[in-house]
Structure formats: structure tokens, C-alpha cells
């Protein structure tokens, strides 16, 4: 049987949220045997996300947990100061451990709401036995980062930023078998992980580099891009609102 792909997406309210989730949902609609776990960074589930999930017709689980105030990025903080989506991804892991059991077949992929995903990526994810890896485009100050492969084994990483990280792999660059997560109930993302070490904090308790399964033609194809959406300017919006001329939909 084909394993279910559990796509875990943390998301939070901002002007572009709906656009991001429409785009991502319309990618996921093309994938069979997929279960979307959307975890809102909010004190409660929002109508916007609830409606979007129902309209997508995808099998989904809708969760929420607010990032503790002391860990939340302020408007003025640089975007790299605090890790983002950590508690949300951990809640998804907890949900999977409470609602799935060995030997349920599945693969877990952490898909942020703003990246760009090729449909071909999901064919690669599907065959994950333990932990699979592949290149990620537009990340780490490079056109791409990627695992280096020799004789179908990962022997190192092409990366420039903090190359000594145990697993210098972006969140979008790996998938984990559900069975491995169930067999390692303590494995989770560390909210206090140093910048760049979030992925390592999970992967270290699951695999060694030698065990990684290279996908995407031995990590020679880019099938996911770490795109980021520009924050829209709202100058005119604010002016109109101030004049009482604002419009709502």
C-alpha cells in the first residue's frame, strides 16, 4: 500500500496568510494519499483557516498552539532572531503519536506555508524508509544547498552557512518515516536550539548522516524552493482607514 504523506504546516495570521495557504493547498490537491496537518500559531483556531481547509477538500487535521510570548518574534526583531513554527511542528508530532500507531505506514514532511513545492517532490517523499533528503533551492545564501552523495550514500553537504551543523539541512529538505517517529517518542524540535540548529535538534535523535536516503536523482534535482513572500506595503490602506473611507470584504 502507498504510505500516507503527512504534510505538517505551521501558519500564523498576517496579510499574506490566505494567499500562502491557497497556493499551498492548491499544490497539495494534486497529491493522492495525503493528510494535511495545519497548526496555527494562535490562541484559537481561526475561521479563515477552518474555511480554507474545508474548501480544499483535503483530508486534514486542524490544530493550534500559540508560541509562548518570550519566544515570539516582535515586528521589529530581525526575522532570524527566534525560531518560527517550532511548538506548532511539535504539536503535530504529538498528534501523530496519539492518533497513529505502529505499523501504520506514513511519511512526515514539514512544509512551511510560504515555500514553493514541485509535485515531483511528493513522489520522492513517498518512498522514505527512515529519513530521506534532497536539495533545497534559494536558501542559506546560495542558489541551493544539497547533500553530497557518493555511491548512493550521503557523505557530506554543500552548504556555506554554519557548515559544522550536524545536519545542515533546511526544514524543507527532509522527510521522516512515521514509524521512526513513533519508535522514538522523545524526538522533537528544540525550542531553544541555536539559530540554524532546529532541523538538527530533531534529526540527531533519529539518524546518522550515513543512514540518510538521498532522493531527487542522488540530490541533483531541486524540487523545493525556500521562497519568501514580501511583506505588502499598506500605506494607502492606512490613509483611507484614517479618513473613514476604508473598505472591508
Contact range with Mn ion by CB under 5 A, out of 69-77, 106-114, 120-128, 211-219:
106-114
Residue 11 binds which one of Mn ion, ligand UDP, none, with CB within 5 to 8 A depending on kind? ligand UDP
CA torsion sign for 71, 73, 67, 145 is negative
E-strand ranges in the chain read 4-11, 34-40, 60-64, 106-110, 116-117, 131-133, 136-139, 142-150, 153-158, 174-177, 213-214, 224-225
Note if the bond before 13 is cis, omega within 30 degrees: no
In the complex, the smallest distance separating the C-beta of residue 183 from ligand UDP, rounded to whole angstroms, is 26
CA torsion sign for 195, 198, 203, 204 is positive
199 among known catalytic residues: yes
Q: Which of 114, 124, 145, 213 binds Mn ion (CB under 5 A)?
A: 114
Binding site for ligand UDP (CB under 6 A): 9-12, 41, 67, 72-73, 79, 84-85, 88, 112-114, 228
In the complex, the smallest distance separating the C-beta of residue 79 from Mn ion, rounded to whole angstroms, is 9
In the complex, the smallest distance separating the C-beta of residue 137 from ligand UDP, rounded to whole angstroms, is 13
Q: Which of 112, 124, 145, 213 binds Mn ion (CB under 5 A)?
A: 112
Q: Which residues are identified as catalytic?
A: 199
Amino acid at each position: 500500500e502507498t504510505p500516507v504523506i503527512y504534510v505538517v504546516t505551521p501558519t500564523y495570521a498576517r496579510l499574506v496568510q490566505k494567499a500562502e495557504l491557497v497556493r499551498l493547498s492548491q499544490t497539495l490537491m494534486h497529491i493522492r494519499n495525503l493528510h494535511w496537518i495545519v497548526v496555527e500559531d494562535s490562541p484559537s483556531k481561526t475561521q479563515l483557516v477552518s474555511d480554507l481547509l474545508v474548501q480544499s477538500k483535503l483530508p486534514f487535521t486542524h490544530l493550534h498552539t500559540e508560541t509562548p510570548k518570550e519566544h515570539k518574534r516582535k515586528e521589529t526583531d530581525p526575522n532570524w532572531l527566534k525560531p518560527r513554527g517550532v511548538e506548532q511542528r511539535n504539536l503535530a508530532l504529538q498528534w501523530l503519536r496519539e492518533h497513529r500507531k505502529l505499523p501504520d505506514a506514513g511519511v512526515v514532511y514539514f512544509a512551511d506555508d510560504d515555500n514553493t513545492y514541485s509535485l515531483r517532490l511528493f513522489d520522492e517523499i513517498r518512498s522514505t524508509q527512515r529519513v530521506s533528503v534532497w536539495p533545497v533551492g534559494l536558501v542559506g545564501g546560495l542558489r541551493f544547498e544539497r547533500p553530497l552523495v557518493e555511491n548512493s550514500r550521503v557523505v557530506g553537504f554543500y552548504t556555506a552557512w554554519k557548515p559544522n551543523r550536524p545536519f545542515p539541512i533546511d526544514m524543507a529538505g527532509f522527510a521522516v518515516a512515521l514509524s521512526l517517529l513513533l519508535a522514538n517518542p522523545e524526538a522533537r524540535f528544540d525550542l531553544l536550539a541555536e539559530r540554524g540548529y532546529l532541523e538538527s535538534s530533531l534529526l540527531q535523535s533519529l539518524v546518522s548522516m550515513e543512514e540518510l536516503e538521498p532522493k531527487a536523482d542522488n540530490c541533483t534535482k531541486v524540487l523545493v524552493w525556500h521562497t519568501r513572500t514580501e511583506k505588502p506595503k499598506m500605506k494607502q490602506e492606512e490613509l483611507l482607514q484614517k479618513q473613514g473611507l476604508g473598505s472591508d470584504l
